[in-house]
Structure 1
Amino acid sequence: MLGVDVPPLAGPIVAVTHDSRDVVPGGAFVAINGFTTRGADFVPQALERGATLIVAEEPIDGVPTAVVADDRVALAALATELAGHPSHDLTVHGVTGTNGKTTSSYVLHAILTGAYGEAATGLMTTAEVIIGSEHETAVRTTGEATVVQANLARMRDAGVQHVVLETSSHGIHLHRVDGTRYATALFTNLTRDHLDLHGTMEHYYRTKRKLFQWTSGPKLANADDEWGARLATEVEGTRTFGAAQDADYRIEAERRDGVRTVFELVTPGHGRLTLSIPLLGDYNVHNVAGAAGIALELGMSPEVLTRSVHEMAQVPGRFERVPAAVDLGFEVVVDYAHTDVGLAAVLEVAREVAGDGRLLCVYGAAGARDRDKRPKMGAVASRMADVAIITTDDAYHEDPQDIADEVMAGADPANTTIVIDRRAAIDSALRQAQPGDVVVVAGKGHERVQHLATGDVPFHDVTVVTELLASR
């Protein structure tokens, strides 16, 4: 399994983890070197808790160790083996890209649920894990290999047949999805993000491309994105979707119908389909078109597809409308947008919804991430919103004021202010809102925790907005 010499064991390995706090008697501990920690430092604790196998990239003094070339590859191999290679018994659909991964994943899950029933479908995404009718909050976009394989095994054991797995570049680069057999792959787009990990856009793209190279079944890429168009030429068997004239699944006649969007999808095998979706914005039309293309490639009937997209629900934290604002005559939208490109897309749709009303935006930039995008976000918000308030996102170890100042460097002081406390910033926007206005609270979306240098604190934008509106 590991391909290296393993010290004599007292019995079979019953579990594997990279967190010494989760070690169980008879388990294996993989001493992963993190970005700020050294795995070997936690070996004594793992042994105290009953670990019978230690795996590391170098020998550990006084401890029989299986020495491997890559600790994360080893973690994935052990996790997959102990879980019984669950993806071999499932149809796993991978969704990757910079923006739109979560929405596309939810859309594809909704389509599959409409076709095969709730009990037969599962979802692993940024927002949550869904196993049949059970919903759980997710920890990160793509969990560690142990989490991925354990969730796949739970889905298999629960009778799930189709799983949508939101597959991030971190998940691919850090071997979190190694051992997973993908049946289909969907690529949304590629814009500047995560360069703190990848260094260059080229490396970022090549990491995403691996998902398509692993997948032998249907593969769809966004023809309207330069990286997606390139992907279609580099990986054999990849079809395309988008508004481009040569797209295999072509978007036409897009129009807004109240709080819904209607568009035509010209398909290679079923002619022209009319799809009505409960989502707004061109980017969401693309998200639905890609997921619809995958479903049709799998052999789903146009009738089932059309009904499923019409009946799907809002996506948590993705242009999520807060009902409590409606009675006050304005709209509040919570969205996960955390890059300049993502923020621009959301504000463009919000401006359309506002009509003659004003657009107010509360946003921030994350700490410990690509700093170059901070002033770009400031420029976008100032250009597209009437009122822009810079606040704290996830600051991590950085000073929130320093981050806000860097965002402000690209903003226009004439319509931009800084309110460091996120709750106070949201309250300020809500108090300024008038009938007909739209307030966008961006950056955190579905997330329920704010990561600060002083520690994690509970924070959920939709809940906070609802509480503040109720207090009025």
Structure 2
Amino acid sequence: MILNRSELEELLQTRLPPGVEGISGVTHDSRAAGPGDAFVAVSGFKRDGAEFAPEAVRRGAVLVVAERELTGLPVVVVRDAREALARLAAAVCGHPSHRIPVYGITGTNGKTTTSYALHAVFSGAGPCGLLSTAEIIVGRERRPALRTTPEAPEVQSALDGMLRAGMERVVMEVSSHGVELKRVAHTRFAGALFTNLSRDHLDLHPTMEHYYRAKRRLLEWAEGPKLSNADDEWGLRLAGEVEGVLTFGRTPRADYRIEGVEDGGAGMRFRLRHPEGVLELESPLLGDYNVSNVAGAAALALAAGIPEETVVRAVREMPQIPGRFERIGCGQDFEVVVDYAHTDVGLAAVLEVARALAGRSGGRVICVFGAAGERDKAKRPKMGAVSTRLADWSVVTTDDAYSEDPGEIARQVAAGAAPGRYEVILDRLEAIRRALRLARRGDVVVVAGKGHERVQHLPEGDVPFHDASAIRALLRQDGEVEVARRSG
């Protein structure tokens, strides 16, 4: 919608430059600027958006919103450009979150799985959109996501699109970056859930306390049901600090209590005791941590008024989640799993499930993983320690190195690894090939870190890379070689 001059001045709480009568769009990306747009110059981690304001104006932007004066441009100065970006984006899109219930999911681990589980349950009651780390889903349309929580214009545009497409609810993953950088500011949340907290993103947040407070803010904003994981110390603390928060977990004091967990081989079974009764749930997702994820989603859905039978059916029938303990099958006699685990806690959870899976057939666990560059360096040796403790063999490789030296990152990971239980192969494709060729009948190969992602960020530039696709190609390639050998 078009915002006129008086509306803009009210939103920005300042006078506009002469000649600016209104805007029809807003962006922070000068390359996306067009006629009638406002360009908001936000400071990035490496560059100041004000540098790109002239380009935005050349492309047709009629207003620049910045935190300082810029000579020769139609500029309005604000105290907080990110706040202004979020405010303008919500207004230009007509405040879609005021017209469609949005449910936010936050936490260090389990956000995507919980979001998919909640989306599956809500979809059983009516059309539901999903904004996740892995993809954006609107009805039957699916497209890859660029980041966990996109910038404010993309968030508001996606919500508006979902509203126009007839979605009745939206599930959104909300990262601490999304909160701290105001990407979800001016979004109304109908409900929210906190999964857990462990060391991550300390490149953005100076301490764990700051990280926790960013996560907590989502539940403070939520206007409807709020759920927190009582089995997590941070989750239990949050429940005591934010009014109206209900809890889920195995602890007897949880409002939504997990009981009778059983590993059925092909999935997990458990009971969820809640204020109105007991649900018998069966999920195709493996692992105790996924019991917690599914239970949280079921609890939030029940608190939002979804009927019990809808919850039970949706949990039983929910599909595999891209890059979250995603099992890749090409006829091989061993398991291959792709997972997004990129912290020591997440990696431990995945490898424990892999151990249980391998234990049924007396197999081994082989793990391929790395650590991201330009991120919290303290978790690198911890990941090396976890992998060599829980896997029989580890292949340390390159994740998203960004501008860092992949070899140096690998050395820091290996500093925590147990001697004689790992090797280093920096080329990710060759590392995966090595793991697949080491695997025997009954083994489980875990390829961790990248999950659903389709690009690898390297010092020399971005390159296309998708773990699941690479694995399928290698398995088919080796399978064809094996068939040829047998035929010969």
Q: Identify the TM-score tier after normalising by the shorter chain.
A: over 0.9
- Tell me which residue corresponds to 2:121: 111
Q: 1:284 aligns with which of 287, 290, 312?
A: 290
Q: 2:466 aligns with which of 427, 440, 460?
A: 460
Asked if 1:188 corresponds to 2:195, the answer is yes
Secondary structure of the residue aligned to 2:322 is coil
Q: 1:351 aligns with which of 352, 355, 358?
A: 355
Amino acid at match of 2:28: H
Amino acid at match of 1:329: D
Amino acid at match of 2:337: V
Asked if 1:335 corresponds to 2:339, the answer is yes
- Tell me which residue corresponds to 1:451: 457
Q: 1:34 aligns with which of 23, 30, 44?
A: 44
Secondary structure of the residue aligned to 1:195 is coil
TM-score (normalizing by structure 2): 0.95
Amino acid at match of 1:44: P
Q: How far 1:300 moved relative to its partner? A: 1.6
Asked if 1:44 corresponds to 2:48, the answer is no
User: Contact (CA 8 Å) 1:29, 1:54: kept in 2 or not?
Assistant: yes
CA distance in 2, matches of 1:61, 1:335: 49
For 1:11-51, what per-residue CA distance to the aligned partner results, in whole angstroms no more than 9, with x for missing partners? 42011111111110111111111111011211111111111
Secondary structure of the residue aligned to 1:189 is coil
Q: 2:239 aligns with which of 227, 232, 244?
A: 232
User: Contact (CA 8 Å) 1:242, 1:289: kept in 2 or not?
Assistant: yes
Q: How far 1:255 moved relative to its partner? A: 0.8
Q: How far 1:440 moved relative to its partner? A: 0.2
Secondary structure of the residue aligned to 1:196 is coil
Asked if 1:156 corresponds to 2:160, the answer is no
Q: 1:81 aligns with which of 87, 91, 94?
A: 91
Of 8-17 and 417-426, deviating more is: 8-17
CA distance in 1, matches of 2:413, 2:396: 8
User: Contact (CA 8 Å) 1:31, 1:54: kept in 2 or not?
Assistant: yes
Q: How far 1:299 moved relative to its partner? A: 1.6
Q: 2:70 aligns with which of 31, 35, 60?
A: 60
CA distance in 2, matches of 1:403, 1:452: 12
Q: How far 1:194 moved relative to its partner? A: 0.3
Q: 2:259 aligns with which of 252, 255, 258?
A: 252
CA distance in 2, matches of 1:10, 1:392: 49
Asked if 1:411 corresponds to 2:417, the answer is yes
User: Contact (CA 8 Å) 1:76, 1:175: kept in 2 or not?
Assistant: yes
Amino acid at match of 1:416: Y
Amino acid at match of 1:354: A
Amino acid at match of 2:209: E
- Tell me which residue corresponds to 2:482: none
- Tell me which residue corresponds to 1:125: 132
- Tell me which residue corresponds to 1:169: 176
- Tell me which residue corresponds to 2:34: 24
Secondary structure of the residue aligned to 1:130 is strand
Asked if 1:137 corresponds to 2:144, the answer is yes
CA distance in 2, matches of 1:85, 1:169: 22
Amino acid at match of 1:341: V
Asked if 1:371 corresponds to 2:377, the answer is yes
- Tell me which residue corresponds to 2:305: 299
- Tell me which residue corresponds to 2:483: none
- Tell me which residue corresponds to 2:5: none
Q: 1:71 aligns with which of 81, 103, 109?
A: 81
Amino acid at match of 2:201: H
For 1:377-412, what per-residue CA distance to the aligned partner results, in whole angstroms no more than 9, with x for missing partners? 000001000010000000000010000000000001
CA distance in 2, matches of 1:374, 1:234: 32
User: Contact (CA 8 Å) 1:115, 1:308: kept in 2 or not?
Assistant: no
Of 250-259 and 397-406, deviating more is: 250-259
CA distance in 2, matches of 1:8, 1:161: 42
Q: How far 1:63 moved relative to its partner? A: 2.2
Secondary structure of the residue aligned to 1:198 is coil
Structure 1 runs of 4+ off > 3 angstroms? none
For 1:389-446, what per-residue CA distance to the aligned partner results, in whole angstroms no more than 9, with x for missing partners? 0000000000100000000000013011000000000000000000000000000000
User: What stretches of structure 1 of length at least 5 have no aligned partner?
Assistant: none
Secondary structure of the residue aligned to 1:377 is helix
For 1:128-182, what per-residue CA distance to the aligned partner results, in whole angstroms no more than 9, with x for missing partners? 0011111010000000000000000001111111000100000000000011100
Amino acid at match of 2:226: K
CA distance in 2, matches of 1:295, 1:29: 39
Amino acid at match of 1:164: V
Q: How far 1:304 moved relative to its partner? A: 1.2
Secondary structure of the residue aligned to 1:126 is coil
User: Contact (CA 8 Å) 1:222, 1:240: kept in 2 or not?
Assistant: yes
Secondary structure of the residue aligned to 1:115 is coil
For 1:278-330, what per-residue CA distance to the aligned partner results, in whole angstroms no more than 9, with x for missing partners? 10011100000000001111122211110110010011100000011xx2210
Alignment of 1:2-17 (within 5 A): 2-17=12-27
CA distance in 1, matches of 2:14, 2:349: 49
Amino acid at match of 2:113: T
User: Contact (CA 8 Å) 1:9, 1:53: kept in 2 or not?
Assistant: no
Q: How far 1:4 moved relative to its partner? A: 1.8
CA distance in 1, matches of 2:61, 2:375: 35
Q: 1:470 aligns with which of 467, 476, 487?
A: 476
Q: How far 1:10 moved relative to its partner? A: 4.2
User: Contact (CA 8 Å) 2:62, 2:74: kept in 1 or not?
Assistant: no
CA distance in 1, matches of 2:317, 2:340: 23
For 1:37-71, what per-residue CA distance to the aligned partner results, in whole angstroms no more than 9, with x for missing partners? 01121111111111110110011122231100011
CA distance in 2, matches of 1:235, 1:440: 38
User: Contact (CA 8 Å) 2:363, 2:444: kept in 1 or not?
Assistant: yes
User: What stretches of structure 2 of length at least 5 have no aligned partner?
Assistant: 1-10, 479-488
Identity of aligned residues (%): 60
Q: How far 1:8 moved relative to its partner? A: 2.3
Q: 1:392 aligns with which of 398, 402, 406?
A: 398
